[in-house]
Amino acid sequence: MSNLSPSFRAPTHAALRARVDHWSYVIVVGGLGAIAIVLLASPTLIVLITSFTSAETLRFPPPGFSMRWYQALISSSPEIVAAALVSLKVAASATIAAVVLATAAAIAIFSSKAGWARIADVVLMSPVLLPALSLGLGLLLTFNLMNVGVSLTTLVIGHIVICFPFVLRTTLASLAQINPALEECARDLGAGGWRTFAHVTFPLARGGIAAGAFIGFMASFDNVAISLFLADARSEVLPIRLWDLIESVLDVRAAAASGILIVATVALMIAMERVAGLSRYVR
């Protein structure tokens, strides 16, 4: 339809320009997009491949393949296994607490729209904009003032702060999709507040809560900044343990541990996609 444009040049010239326009666009945008896709996937694959190396170093491509680093990880690395257990325990407790608090908060915010919506906005944005390290230091100062020493409990409290916004966000999103007539029906039929919540609201919001719990769990499991400040010497978490391994000696066991984490993440992600429709909540 290039004849619609006010071009006084010969049509062949316009056609050529249109072709150059089209192909340069396809090459540049398609090319950059393709690079982005390769960049998204390849580091994960590279770590997976490296974790099966038979060599002592992180040479890539590996000279040969073996399971030796996975064996080393399982049989002779009690400190890594212990750190993984601490991380699991902290992330699980923080997620459970955050789910309870965030669900209650989401329902409160949702039923009193006025001023709360703005506050909710601030809370939702704060952990992504505030450097987590500042938050960690601030929490440490707070505990210190209250004469509370760092322990597993302070660590969990710090991680609740990390988890909370993720659960709040997805729960608010799924509450917004519930038809308010359903809750009214339940009330009109004589169900009290709790029964309405248990039989109507919760089942309908379950997907959002589950998706938020999953994302919050992963964020907590991954968190370094808060743990650096709030953990005591006995409760070292996995990411800090791995960081140490990578920074000091470039230990190949870090690749094996990463391999396990990657496989577990992919498996959980696919499971959550099936159960809760995860991809609806991340966009």
Partner 1 sequence: MFVGLPIVMLLCASVSGESGFGLANFQRFLTDGLSLPVLGRTLRLGVETSAVALVLGYPLALLFVAAPPWLQKPFVLLIVLPLLTSAVVRTFAWVVILGRQGLINETLLTLGVTGAPVPLLYTEPMLVVALAQIELPIIALPIISALSAIDPRLHEASLELGGGKWGTLLNVTIPLSLHGIIAGLLLVFAASCSALVTQSIIGGGRLIFMPLYIYQQGMQAQNWPFAAAISLVLLVAVLAVAATLNAFGRLATRRLHV
Shortest spacing between CB 18 and partner 1, in angstroms:
7
* 85 contributes a contact to partner 1 by CB under 8 A: no
**Contact range with partner 1 by CB under 8 A, out of 28-36, 106-114, 177-185, 199-207:** 28-36
* 164 contributes a contact to partner 1 by CB under 8 A: yes
Shortest spacing between CB 216 and partner 1, in angstroms:
11
Q: Which residues pair with 53 in a beta bridge?
A: 65
Helix (H) or strand (E) holding 165: helix 152-176
Question: DSSP letter at 3?
Answer: G
The CA distance from 267 to 275, in Å, is 12
Q: How far is CA 38 from CA 34, 52, 58, 61, 267, in A?
A: 6, 21, 21, 17, 21
* 47 contributes a contact to partner 1 by CB under 8 A: yes
The CA distance from 69 to 262, in Å, is 15
* 37 contributes a contact to partner 1 by CB under 8 A: yes
Binding to partner 1, residues 215-274 (CB under 8 A):
215, 218, 221-222, 224-225, 228-229, 239, 242-243, 246-247, 250, 254-255, 258, 261-262, 265-266, 269-270, 273
* 18 contributes a contact to partner 1 by CB under 8 A: yes
* 54 contributes a contact to partner 1 by CB under 8 A: no
Question: DSSP letter at 187?
Answer: H
The CA distance from 15 to 263, in Å, is 51
* 40 contributes a contact to partner 1 by CB under 8 A: yes
Site string for partner 1, 174-193 (x = CB under 8 A): --------------------
For partner 1 (CB under 8 A), the number of binding residues is: 85
Distance of CA 204 to the CA centre of its chain: 23
* 65 contributes a contact to partner 1 by CB under 8 A: no
The CA distance from 95 to 221, in Å, is 10
